[in-house]
Amino acid sequence: MLSYQYKIPIESVIEAYKKGMFPMAETCSSKEIYWIEPKKRGVFNLNQIKVPRKFKKFLRNNSFELAIDNNFEEVIDNCAKITINRKDTWINSTIKKIYIEMHHSGFAHSVECYFNNELVGGLYGIKIGRIFFGESMFSLISNASKVALIHLLERLIMGGYKVLDTQFINDHLKQFGAKEVSNKEFKDIINENINQKADFYYYSKKGFLPSQLYPLKNAII
């Protein structure tokens, strides 16, 4: 347990992820963080993604715009907000500082979903080796976070990643092929992939995706 004034070196955070742990706060106002190592872990095997037919149709006809790392701090701020449907969050001041610093250092990335030039959904996480460790997502209008997730999955496939870690699992993730593995299985996944190379920017660089690149049609849609 650490006080929120405590500065955690990026190297220590990376090493924790390599051991299967990640930081969380009990509430958004907590002054401490905890290192979490779940007995069960939610993951996407990127060779086993599935997209419901109805949602594929939606993806091909929706009016969202997507961007990569265009406004990371606004994404994490939205993920940390208390809403009608979310009474509290695990993202406190320390968590924000950690991931914003990791973003500036090139480890953390955001996928952002815009409608009428407004940020309406997105997610963020960190990349290490061939694993992307998803942290949190938000949605201000229907399907925005799902669109961001699908783009992330396709981007990871195109960039040579093997696994998207979701930490925990729910029905929202299961519909796209996420499954639960044991802690031992997850550590085997880490050992196999953590020192391998992948390219988050293989498909497109930072900023808004050109319209001809979205939705991607070569991976899972």
What is the 8-class DSSP label of residue 149? H
Q: What is the structure's pLDDT at 122?
A: 97
pTM: 0.92
Q: Rounded mean pLDDT of 72-90? A: 83
Give the pLDDT band of residue 204 (cuts 50, 70, 90): confident
Burial of 148-159, coded b for 16+ CB within 10 Å and e otherwise, reads bbbbbbbbbbbb
Q: What is the structure's pLDDT at 31?
A: 82
What CATH code is carried by the domain that includes residue 96? Answer: 3.40.630.70
Q: Rounded mean pLDDT of 90-117? A: 94
On whether residue 220 sits in a domain, the answer given is no
Distance CA 150, CA 139 (A): 14
Longest dimension (CA), the chain: 48
What is the 8-class DSSP label of residue 204? -
112: tokens are: 């952002």
Q: Rounded mean pLDDT of 172-188? A: 96
On whether residue 193 sits in a domain, the answer given is yes
Does 45 score more than 90 pLDDT? Answer: yes
Higher-confidence residue of 182 and 56: namely 182
Give the pLDDT band of residue 3 (cuts 50, 70, 90): very low
State the total domains in the chain.
1
Q: Rounded mean pLDDT of 119-147? A: 96
Q: How many CA atoms lie within 13 A of 152 on its CB side?
A: 33
Does 218 score more than 70 pLDDT? Answer: no
Give the pLDDT band of residue 89 (cuts 50, 70, 90): confident
Listing from the earlier edge strand, what are the strands of the sheet with 2-3? 2-3, 32-36, 22-24
Q: What is the structure's pLDDT at 101?
A: 96
CB 90 within 8 Å of CB 75 = no
- What percentage of residues in the chain have a pLDDT greater than 70? 90
Q: Which SS3 state, helix, strand or coil, does residue 119 take? A: strand
| Residue from 22, 25, 26 nearest 12 by CA | 22
Average pLDDT, the chain: 89
Tens-place pLDDT, residues 120-131: 999 999 999 999
Higher-confidence residue of 210 and 200: namely 200
Distance CA 116, CA 87 (A): 28
Q: What is the structure's pLDDT at 38?
A: 94
On whether residue 218 sits in a domain, the answer given is no
Does 1 score more than 60 pLDDT? Answer: no
